[in-house]
Chains A and B, each alone.
Chain A
Amino acid sequence: MSPAGCSHVNGYKVDNWKQNLRVIYQCFVWSGTAETRRRKAKSCICHMCGAHLNRLHSCLYCVFFGCFTKKHIHEHAKNKRHNLAIDLLYGGIYCFVCQDYIYDKDMEQIAKEEQRKAWKLQGIGEKYTTWEPTKRELELLRHNPKRRKITTNCTIGLRGLINLGNTCFMNCIVQALTHTPLLRDFFLSDRHKCEMQSNSCLVCEMSQLFQEFYSGHRSPHIPFRLLHLVWTHARHLAGYEQQDAHEFLIAALDVLHRHCKGDMIRDDNGKKANNPNHCNCIIDQIFTGGLQSDVTCQVCHGVSTTIDPFWDISLDLPGSSTPFWALSPGGDGSTVNGESHLSGSTTLTDCLRRFTRPEHLGSSAKIKCGGCHSYQESTKQLTMKKLPIVACFHLKRFEHSAKLRRKITTYVSFPLELDMTPFMASSKESRMNGQYQQSVDVLNNDN
Chain B
Amino acid sequence: MSKEYQMRAAINQKLIEMGERERLKELLRAKLVECGWKDQLKAHCKDVIREKGLEHVTVEDLVTEVTPKGRALVPDSVKKELLQRIRAFLVQHAAL
Contact = CB atoms under 8 A, between A and B. Distances in A.
Interface residues of A, number: 18
A40 B54 contact: no
Interface string A351-383: 000000000000000000000000000000000
B78 interface: no
A113 interface: no
Contact of A42 (B13, B22, B60): B13
Given A100-B58, A100-B59, A101-B59, A37 B12 contact: no
A99 B16 contact: no
Residue among B14, B26, B54 with most chain A CB within 10 A: B26
A101 B57 CA distance: 11
Contacts of B55: 1
A40 B14 CA distance: 11
B9 A100 contact: no
B70 to A, nearest CB: 14
Contact of B16 (A1, A41, A50, A101): A41
Interface string B37-58: 0000000000000000011111
B32 to A, nearest CB: 14
Nearest to B14: A41
A92 B60 CA distance: 13
Contacts of A122: 19, 22
Contacts of A18: none
Contacts of B16: 31, 37, 40-41, 44
B27 to A, nearest CB: 12
A52 interface: yes
Contact of A52 (B12, B26, B56): B12
A319 to B, nearest CB: 44
Contacts of A44: 16
A161 B57 CA distance: 52
A435 to B, nearest CB: 17
Nearest to B1: A50
B9 A45 contact: yes
Contacts of A1: 54-59
Contacts of A34: 17, 19
Contact of A100 (B18, B19, B22, B60): B60
Contacts of A100: 58-60
A191 interface: no
B17 A99 contact: no
A221 interface: no
A297 B59 CA distance: 71
A63 interface: no
Interface in A192-207: none
A37 B55 CA distance: 38
Contacts of B19: 34, 37, 122
Contacts of B9: 45, 50, 52
A150 interface: no
Nearest to A127: B26
B57 A41 contact: no
Interface of B: 1, 9, 12-14, 16-19, 22, 26, 54-60
The 8 A-B residue pairs whose C-beta atoms are closest, nearest first, are A41-B16, A41-B13, A100-B58, A41-B17, A101-B59, A37-B17, A38-B17, A52-B12
Given A1-B59, A40-B16, 13 more contacts: A1-B54, A1-B56, A1-B58, A38-B17, A41-B13, A42-B13, A52-B9, A99-B60, A100-B59, A122-B19, A122-B22, A124-B22, A124-B26
18 contacts: A1-B54, A1-B55, A1-B59, A37-B16, A37-B17, A37-B18, A41-B17, A42-B13, A44-B16, A50-B9, A99-B60, A100-B58, A100-B59, A101-B58, A122-B19, A122-B22, A124-B22, A124-B26
